[in-house]
Structure 1
Amino acid sequence: MAFYILILKDKEDEKGVTYRFGPNEDRLGSLWLDKSSGEVKELQQTPADNSQRFFQGAAVKVRQHWKKGLFPEKTCWAS
């Protein structure tokens, strides 16, 4: 079974980036990525079953971009 996570940039400043993430634009949680350390914190759970799985997948993807110095407006994670 395929698993897809939509990830959209919400805000960005010199310290970090906030992303919204979830199965679609109607059901999104949010996370914050610290630009200096790469630490990711969940700010709001995705209102869906397996909300922790959505956060974990989104966190992995934004950290992959962070390691390359990138903070895209839109990305996704799929398995």
Structure 2
Amino acid sequence: MSAYVLLFKELETKEKVIYCYGPNEQQLGKIEYNKITKTFQEIEGIQNFSQKESDHYLSYAAKKIASILRKGEEFPDETFFA
């Protein structure tokens, strides 16, 4: 199953970055990347999605954030994974 995942940065501090993610602007979950421990955490799943569907989008959101980290780029305000 492939997906198009939008990511919108909600917050960035020295310790973490939080993105809203999902298939569109009306259906969003939240993911946090902890810059210190280098770990991902789901803050909120996508409402009205099954856990499996929400996990699918969460996985792609994490992959996009990891890609940004590997490239050494700044965290953008908006991005996507396709």
The interval holding the TM-score normalised by the smaller chain is: 0.7 to 0.9
1:15 aligns with: 15
Structure 2 gaps of 5+ residues are none
Q: Give 1:1-79 correspondences, 5 Å limit.
A: 2-47=2-47, 48-49=49-50, 50-69=53-72, 70-78=74-82
Length-normalised TM-score, structure 1: 0.88
- RMSD over equivalenced CA pairs, Å: 1.5
Structure 1 CA distance for aligned equivalents of residues 36 and 29 of structure 2: 23
- The Cα offsets for residues 45-73 of structure 1, whole Å up to 9 and x where unpaired, read as 01224111000000110111122332111
Structure 2 CA distance for aligned equivalents of residues 37 and 60 of structure 1: 17
Structure 2 CA distance for aligned equivalents of residues 18 and 68 of structure 1: 19
Structure 1 SS opposite 2:55 = helix
Length, aligned pairs only: 78
State the identity as a percent: 32
Alpha-carbon offset, residue 39 of structure 1: 1.2
Length-normalised TM-score, structure 2: 0.85
Q: Which runs of 4+ in 1 moved over 4 A?
A: none
